[in-house]
Amino acid sequence: MTLLIGVLIGLVLGLTGAGGSIFAVPLLVLMLSLPVTEAIGIALGAVAISALYGTVNNWRYKTILWVPAVILAVGGALSAPLGKWLGSQVSDTLLISGFSLLAIVIAWRMWRQTIKHPEQARVVRSGKISFDELLKPVCRVSPTGQFKWRLPCIGSLVLGGLAVGLLTGLFGVGGGFLIVPLLLFLTQVSMQQAVGTSLLIITVISGAGFISYAVTSTALDWQLLGLLSAGGLLGMFTGNQVGHKIAGPQLQRVFAASLVVVAVLMMANQ
């Protein structure tokens, strides 16, 4: 069961705009009866490992935009431990309720995207991206192609990273559902560049959240993490092979509907 949950993490991470942990946390709570704080910590570790695999793949295809990735990732890595600490200060009931509401919002956004921008649902993180689809990089660039370090742009990216990191540490979500639209809103990038860059950011932010959990946990289940991570890598590999064949509005709607179901079940179980 743990391996199957890991596979789902990898598939969701590779094929949709949401991080795989948005499914992993409720499944770990419902199916393995883990405490929510433990489920969040382990899910972050598995997502970080899966996202790292996708990052290496995107690095090879040169689809990572390094300037916004580094700014967002650093901001998120700084605030993720704070989010993790905040999560430890509230009750499981409040944490699960907040997580479930967030999951429903993400599902709504995924469903809405398939109606307003169905072509974007076909862009996957785990697949090869054509160089013909790439645009010039982020915010504003000079005629020579150099990034302009203007304060409004840098400040927006930093604040965005801090917000994503806080939610990552608090609820265990990888942040992909925020990172992609944030990049599209703040920068001059294509959808393909945004989803390619997001995996690096998810790797760093989820990794920071997991490290924060690991150093404060007295009973980290490494075997469970290993099985979950192995499944996640398998899911990412599968997405890499079949992503462009199966990704699309219908698949994203299935994920969105499934997310609502597990969120409701999680609240009912609590």
pLDDT of residue 137: 44
Number of domains, the chain = 1
Report the phi/psi class of residue 140: left, alpha or beta, with left for phi > 0 and alpha for psi in -120 to 50. beta
- The per-residue pLDDT for range 136-188, each reduced to its tens digit, is 444 655 555 455 667 777 888 888 889 888 888 888 776 667 787 777 777 76
Q: Three-state secondary structure along the chain?
A: CHHHHHHHHHHHHHHCCCCCHHHHHHHHHHHHCCCHHHHHHHHHHHHHHHHHHHHHHHHHCCCCCHHHHHHHHHHHHHHHHHHHHHHHCCCHHHHHHHHHHHHHHHHHHHHHHHHHCHHHHHCCCCCCCCHHHCCCCCCCECCCCCECCCHHHHHHHHHHHHHHHHHHHHHCCCCHHHHHHHHHHHCCCCHHHHHHHHHHHHHHHHHHHHHHHHHHCCCCCHHHHHHHHHHHHHHHHHHHHHHHHHCCHHHHHHHHHHHHHHHHHHHHHC
Q: How confident is the model at residue 134 (pLDDT cuts 50, 70, 90)?
A: very low
Look at residue 20 in the predicted model and tell me its pLDDT. 66
Residue 200: predicted pLDDT = 87
Which residue range is the domain that position 53 belongs to?
2-269
Per-residue pLDDT of 44-65, as tens digits, reads: 888 888 888 878 877 776 667 7
What gap in Å lies between CA 221 and CA 240, rounded to an integer? 29
Q: What does the alpha-carbon distance between residue 203 and residue 211 come to, in Å, rounded to a whole number?
A: 12
d(CA 183, CA 195): 9
Percent of the chain with pLDDT over 90: 1
CA distance 199 to 208: 14
- Answer with the residue of higher pLDDT: 185 or 85: 85
The mean pLDDT value for 65-92 works out to: 86
Q: Are 99 and 35 in contact (CB under 8 A)?
A: no
Question: Minimum mean pLDDT among 77-86, 92-101, 242-251: which range?
Answer: 242-251
Residue that is written with structure tokens 């660039």 in the block: 141
Report the pLDDT value the prediction gives residue 132, as an integer from 0 to 100.
44
- What are the φ/ψ torsions at residue 147 (nearest 5 degrees)? -70, 135
Q: What pLDDT digit, counting tens, does each position of 231-241 carry?
A: 888 887 787 67
